[in-house]
């Protein structure tokens, strides 16, 4: 009986070990550009537009992940103010169920990546007023640095 329990426990550990979680990683723009250029993935712009139309939301963030295939995680703000995220297969443009194995893996990778970085990948500014270096001179320092990163520098790109 104990041998059976140990065997079941070892099987469970082997199947749920770090191998699955370690296979999901966020990919950068150069790698994404290459995948889109080769036809291995739909363009993020096309997928984001489609998801925005189907949900009625305004895109806030989009990130690409490699999880034994390329997936986009798109965060949107709905008209009622609620925030939703949608995971899409970048190859087909089809939404992936959040409860599916890959859906859970991509969501977990996105959450752990956000916490590790301390900001969203598309925010543009890290709160140090370095959006475009010049800002608009009124003390916000992030000028048009690309997003909702905040920033509260002194307008000259330095803190």
What pLDDT digit, counting tens, does each position of 112-130 carry?
876 544 333 343 333 333 3
Quick: pLDDT tens for 6-54: 333 333 333 444 444 448 999 999 999 999 999 999 999 999 999 999 9
Rounded to whole angstroms, what are the CA distances from 122 to 26, 55, 91? 13, 20, 22
Is residue 81 predicted with pLDDT exceeding 80? Answer: yes
Confidence (pTM): 0.60
Q: Which helix (H) or strand (E) holds 61?
A: strand 58-66
């Amino acid at each position: 009986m104990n041998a059976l329990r140990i065997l079941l426990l070892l099987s469970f550990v082997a199947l749920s070990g770090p191998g699955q979680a370690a296979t999901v990683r966020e990919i950068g723009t150069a790698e994404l550009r290459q995948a889109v250029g080769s036809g291995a993935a739909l363009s993020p712009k096309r997928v984001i537009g489609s998801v925005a139309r189907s949900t009625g939301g305004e895109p806030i963030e989009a990130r690409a992940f490699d999880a034994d295939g390329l997936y986009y995680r798109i965060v949107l703000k709905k008209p009622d103010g609620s925030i939703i995220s949608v995971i899409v297969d970048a190859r087909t443009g089809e939404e992936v169920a959040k409860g599916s194995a890959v859906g859970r893996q991509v969501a977990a990778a996105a959450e752990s990546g956000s916490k590790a970085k301390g900001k969203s990948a598309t925010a543009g500014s890290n709160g140090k007023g370095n959006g475009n270096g010049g800002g608009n001179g009124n003390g916000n320092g992030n000028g048009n640095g690309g997003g909702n990163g905040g920033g509260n520098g002194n307008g000259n790109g330095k803190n």
